[in-house]
């Protein structure tokens, strides 16, 4: 007990020592030394240079830009000859921003050239000492966001009215491209989505990242989607539903994004131009502006890329022993016979070649050598998630599903709905 009382009095003595310091009338002068603010960007202290910011203009070339800023021609040539894989000087794009960091001495020559490939990636050409070129990325901060909406006119309207990045619309259409016909969305269809936004230096918006989880209710039927890495060694990820089934199919629903069906597969179609005689239409027409990309709906090998009669310019793809597809009336083809294409690859562009009354692609679908209506075909699904990963997957998506279920729907104000319906 004496030991504890001793400890108590020792502590009391220490505290009282701090409180019993002699009081003095002198007030110490506090001097605040402000540290200079260092402005760093792209890894450089901008205060060390004279900074020139601009964008690539029509007629600009890398060589001319550097010569105007006092870079010696041998250094310019070295960049062109030895760093083509890092920075191809022939491919600078009009409108892309760049920085030139110039020396502050009387020579005032360019010491560093920074070309912004996109908001995140940039290329540095350093002329100090020996010439050096390298690529780097801005430090990116990811912020999770939630969004929801009820369809009144279209998916893009429901998303853009909320000020959400348009890339979210594209991502949703790609995730559900095999399970939902976006040409037949109904008023009242609804969606919820969890995604991430990218920011540079915490404040500069750099676009939306991939969707982590989504829910789409179409015609009263629910469709969940969760992004999951199915092969970590190859960094392969895909979207699966709440039952661990792959949302992908071997064929896309449509060869054109955000188009409309102007004419369906119809074996009894009658046309006034031909005296209302039966003229079977064995394709599905997707109308879109000239130049709109046309996508391969599945992996396969190009068996034809040519121009013939009323078909105009077209591409035909053999996918396997059962299925092949054809894409008519192209403005131009991007692929040639013998090319292997992957699902979603651009194979050409919407045009009006051949017999056509307006810009569209006539999409034809063969099964076992017979043309069929792809919209009525039960297309084969992609491989499901491996049994060994199913338990891990369900544990992974459980919290995300609960988060989706708790998101409330955002309905547009009445005045916006009136605008949409005008």
Q: What is the pLDDT at residue 16? A: 41
Who's near 260: CB < 8 A, 6+ residues apart? 183, 286, 287, 288
User: What top-level class would CATH report for the domain 141-248+410-421?
Assistant: alpha beta
How far, in Å, CA of 70 to CA of 111, rounded? 9
pLDDT under 70: residue ranges of the chain = 1-39, 232-235, 268-278, 411-422
Do 40-137 and 141-248+410-421 show the same overall fold?
yes
3-state SS, 115-172, equals EECCCCEEEEEECCCCCEEEEEECCEEEEEEEEEEECCCCHHHHHHCCCCCHHHHHHH
Indicate the domain borders of the chain: 40-137, 141-248+410-421, 260-376
Q: What is the pLDDT of residues 303-323, one digit of tens each?
A: 999 999 989 999 999 988 888
- Please tell me the pTM assigned to this model: 0.59
For the domain made up of 260-376, the CATH class stated in words is mainly beta
Give domain 40-137's CATH number out of 3.10.450.350, 3.20.20.80, 3.30.70.580, 3.40.33.10: 3.10.450.350
Q: For residue 102, what pLDDT is reported?
A: 96
Could you give the CA distance from residue 265 to residue 267 in angstroms, rounded to a whole number?
Answer: 7
Cβ(248)–Cβ(380) below 8 Å: no
CB 229 within 8 A of CB 210: no
Task: Identify the pLDDT of residue 101.
Answer: 96
d(CA 353, CA 356): 7
């Amino acid at each position: 007990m004496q030991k504890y009382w001793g400890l108590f009095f020792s502590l009391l003595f220490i505290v009282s020592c701090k409180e019993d310091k002699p009081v003095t009338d002198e007030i110490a002068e506090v001097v605040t030394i402000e540290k200079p603010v260092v402005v760093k960007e792209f890894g450089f202290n901008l205060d060390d240079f004279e900074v020139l910011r601009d964008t690539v203009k029509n007629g600009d070339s890398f060589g001319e830009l550097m010569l105007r800023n006092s870079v010696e021609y041998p250094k310019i040539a070295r960049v062109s000859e030895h760093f083509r894989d890092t920075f191809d000087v022939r491919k600078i794009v009009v409108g892309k921003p760049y920085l030139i960091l110039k020396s502050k001495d009387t020579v005032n020559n360019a010491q560093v050239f920074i070309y912004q490939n996109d908001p995140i990636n940039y290329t540095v050409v350093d002329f100090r000492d020996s010439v050096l070129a390298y690529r780097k990325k801005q430090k990116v901060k990811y912020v999770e966001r939630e969004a929801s909406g009820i369809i009144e006119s279209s998916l893009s309207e429901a998303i853009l009215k909320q000020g959400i990045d348009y890339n979210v619309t594209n991502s949703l259409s790609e995730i559900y491209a095999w399970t939902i016909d976006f040409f037949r969305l109904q008023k009242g269809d609804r969606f919820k989505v969890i995604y991430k936004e990218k920011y540079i230096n915490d404040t500069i918006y750099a676009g939306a990242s991939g969707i982590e989880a989504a829910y789409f209710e179409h015609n009263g039927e629910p469709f969940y989607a969760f992004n999951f890495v199915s092969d970590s060694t190859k960094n392969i990820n895909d979207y699966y539903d709440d039952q661990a089934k792959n949302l992908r199919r071997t064929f896309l629903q449509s060869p054109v994004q955000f188009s409309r069906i102007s004419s369906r597969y119809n074996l009894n179609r009658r046309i006034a131009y031909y005296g209302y005689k039966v003229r079977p239409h064995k394709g599905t027409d997707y109308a879109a502006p000239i130049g709109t990309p046309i996508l391969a709906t599945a992996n396969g090998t190009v068996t034809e890329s040519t121009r013939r009669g009323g078909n105009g310019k077209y591409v035909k793809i053999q996918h396997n022993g059962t299925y092949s597809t054809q894409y008519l009336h192209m403005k131009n083809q991007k692929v040639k016979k013998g090319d292997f294409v992957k699902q979603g690859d651009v194979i050409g562009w919407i045009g009006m070649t051949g017999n056509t009354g307006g810009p569209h692609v006539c999409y034809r679908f063969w099964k076992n050598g017979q043309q069929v209506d792809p919209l009525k075909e039960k297309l084969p699904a992609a491989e499901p998630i491996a049994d060994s990963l199913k338990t891990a997957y369900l544990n992974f998506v459980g919290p995300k599903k609960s988060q989706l279920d708790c998101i409330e729907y955002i309905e547009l104000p009445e005045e916006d709905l009136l605008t949409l319906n005008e």
